[in-house]
Homo-oligomer: A and B are copies of this chain.
Amino acid sequence: MVQKMDTFDLVPLAGSTRMTDVAKAAGVSLVTVSRAINHPDKVSSKTLIAVQQAIQQLGYVPNLMAGSLASNRSFIIAAMVPTISNLIFAESIGTLSETLIAAGYQLLLGQTNYNGNDEHRLVDAFLGRRVDGLVLMGKIQDTQPHDSESGKLNSLTERLLRARLPVVQMWDLVSTPVDMQVGFSNLEAGRKAGTYLADSGRRIVGFIGADESRSHARLKGLKAAIEERGGKVVASLMPAPAGIETSDAQLSKLLQQASNLQAVFCNNDLLATGVLFACRKRGIDVPHQMAVMGLGDMPIAEAACPRLTTLRVEPRRMGEIAANLLMDRLSGKQMASMSYDIGIEIIRRDSA
């Protein structure tokens, strides 16, 4: 049995050691300890060493909450994702988090599940934490009706604006961002895919994706490009999040609408991979009988057989840029631009 622990233990609890204790141990005042930690250059190297030793010895871990309260900076950035179970978002979050950590910030994560109410609750929770910045993956739903009683307080956008919180929206490029943004045009993405497909001779093309705004924009672009060239578009939209488990059924729906379907543009690479499998199952040859295009250029696109032709959107780069936008803003740097279009590029491989 372990001996009963009490306050007389040599090794105190992390969290129970305070700055005063360190100060005492180092023979300096509390402020000096604070300085030694936060502004080491403003302290003589002799005291610095003394303080560091005391910290080591006591196993002191500064209480960042107290620090945040006093300094009014939390060094926390919040991120709101529709869902983290989508590799493309996970990748963005990954680099976002890494870049933030490197800059001394940490990431508070929340999921909306494409739900406007959750969005509201989350933002409130984030604001309550006094996060230093917010990154939003995707459009704000802003479903909440304006409340006449309280003015415009209930619009999410308004709340964010009022809080004067640096926010970056990613993925969607909107005409009136809340603050900063990085992403690409979904309309343009759809248009590019459509143009590519039409140029390679496909006239009857399908679209599969989730039933949410980004898909809608891409579909619109696809339609425009195909119809301009005398083709026809059929679509299948499933409730979000629509994962690879829906690919087969979605292909069926498309085939039902157009048995002479020549191509499918998928909302992401995983969905496209599913279509590859679904075609194989049906004995449909890709790309000769059916062209398949994805979006994302995730590793699976290159690994697939046939290799997936896709639209590269660089989720990792987006995450990094988002983090840097925030960091620049928070450090008061002069910013070149508040809106960053990272563009999209067709990666031509074997499936279309």
Which residues of A does B touch, CB under 8 Å?
10-15, 56-57, 59, 61-66, 68-69, 74, 76, 83-87, 90-91, 93-94, 97-98, 101, 106-111, 122, 124-125, 127-130, 147, 149-153, 159, 162-164, 243-245, 247-248, 270, 273-274, 277-278, 280-281, 299-300, 302-305
CB contacts (< 8 Å) of A128 on chain B: these are: 61-64
Q: How far is the CA of A164 from the CA of B11 in the complex (A)?
A: 12
Does B94 lie within 8 Å of A83, measured CB to CB?
yes
Does A127 lie within 8 Å of B74, measured CB to CB?
no
Does A85 lie within 8 Å of B74, measured CB to CB?
no
Q: How far is the CA of A125 from the CA of B14 in the complex (A)?
A: 12
CB contacts (< 8 Å) of A61 on chain B: these are: 124, 127-128, 163
- Which 4 interchain pairs have the tightest Cβ spacing? A277-B305, A14-B163, A245-B299, A64-B128
Q: Tell me how far the C-beta of A69 lies from the nearest C-beta in chain B, rounded to whole angstroms.
A: 5
Of B57, B127, B152, the residue contacting A15 (CB under 8 A) is: B127
Does B109 lie within 8 Å of A107, measured CB to CB?
yes
Does A247 lie within 8 Å of B280, measured CB to CB?
no
* Number of this chain's copies in the complex: 2
CB contacts (< 8 Å) of A107 on chain B: these are: 108-110
Q: How far is the CA of A110 from the CA of B153 in the complex (A)?
A: 33
Does B94 lie within 8 Å of A11, measured CB to CB?
no
Of B87, B124, B151, the residue contacting A90 (CB under 8 A) is: B87
CB contacts (< 8 Å) of A164 on chain B: these are: 13, 15
Does B106 lie within 8 Å of A101, measured CB to CB?
no
Which residue on B lies nearest to A163, using beta carbons? B14
Which residue on B lies nearest to A243, using beta carbons? B299
CB contacts (< 8 Å) of A302 on chain B: these are: 245
Of B69, B94, B125, B147, the residue contacting A65 (CB under 8 A) is: B69
Given A87-B85, A90-B85, A129 contacting B150 (CB threshold 8 A): no
Given A108-B107, A162-B13, A65 contacting B68 (CB threshold 8 A): yes
Q: Tell me how far the C-beta of A86 lies from the nearest C-beta in chain B, rounded to whole angstroms.
A: 8
Q: Tell me how far the C-beta of A250 lies from the nearest C-beta in chain B, rounded to whole angstroms.
A: 11
Q: How far is the CA of A274 from the CA of B300 in the complex (A)?
A: 8
5 contacting pairs across A/B (C-beta < 8 A): A15-B164, A59-B150, A65-B69, A97-B109, A247-B303
Of B14, B83, B122, B153, the residue contacting A127 (CB under 8 A) is: B14
Which residue on B lies nearest to A63, using beta carbons? B130
CB contacts (< 8 Å) of A125 on chain B: these are: 64, 101, 106
Given A109-B109, A164-B13, A159 contacting B243 (CB threshold 8 A): no
Does B106 lie within 8 Å of A108, measured CB to CB?
yes
Q: Tell me how far the C-beta of A129 lies from the nearest C-beta in chain B, rounded to whole angstroms.
A: 5
Given A62-B128, A94-B111, A108-B107, A11 contacting B162 (CB threshold 8 A): yes
Q: Tell me how far the C-beta of A324 lies from the nearest C-beta in chain B, rounded to whole angstroms.
A: 18
Does A130 lie within 8 Å of B64, measured CB to CB?
yes
